[in-house]
Amino acid sequence: MSNPYTGGCACGAIRYEISDEPIAMVDCQCRDCQVRSGTGHGSYLTFPSQQRVALTGEAKHWEIVADSGNVKTHSFCPVCGTPVYLTFAAMPDLFTVHAASLDDPGRYKPQMVTYGVRGRAWDHVDPALPKFDRMPPR
């Protein structure tokens, strides 16, 4: 096993340690990610099992129905407001963190762009990445 992925919110109240490797690293340009992030896209690492995630601190949660129809639960720090992680009602094992919440954000290596159909001309993502209009086909 390589180094765990560690990170948390800006004030340190929420911390995670993930003893796993990400199964997906994605820049998402959907409308939810734009509004919630305040900029052109969100950047996420998704891990396969919540059983290998150690969390400390009490996050607050809110839910939204994604463009795909799936319910996403966003978890953020009630002290500093930082969005830290995400879970999915339809895929309850998965655990997704925001790339910038990593202690070492350099470990984020985006593999694809999702919801490119919603991308804005001013939001430049890596043109070498595969880009999907919505989600990649399964």
Chain residues that interact with Zn ion, rule: CB under 5 A: 9, 11, 13, 28, 30, 33, 77, 79-80
15 vs 107, beta carbon nearer Zn ion: 15
**45 close to 99: Cβ distance less than 8 angstroms:** yes
CB of 1 to Zn ion, least distance (A): 28
Q: Which is nearer to Zn ion, 9 or 18 (CB)?
A: 9
Q: How far apart are CA 40 and CA 54, in angstroms?
A: 30
Specify the residue for token string 């129905």: 65
| CA-based torsion, 65, 108, 1, 12: positive or negative | negative
CB of 14 to Zn ion, least distance (A): 6
Rounded CA separation 2/21 (Å) = 8
Give 12 or 51: the residue with its C-beta nearer to Zn ion.
12
Q: How far is the CB of 34 from Zn ion (least distance, A)?
A: 8
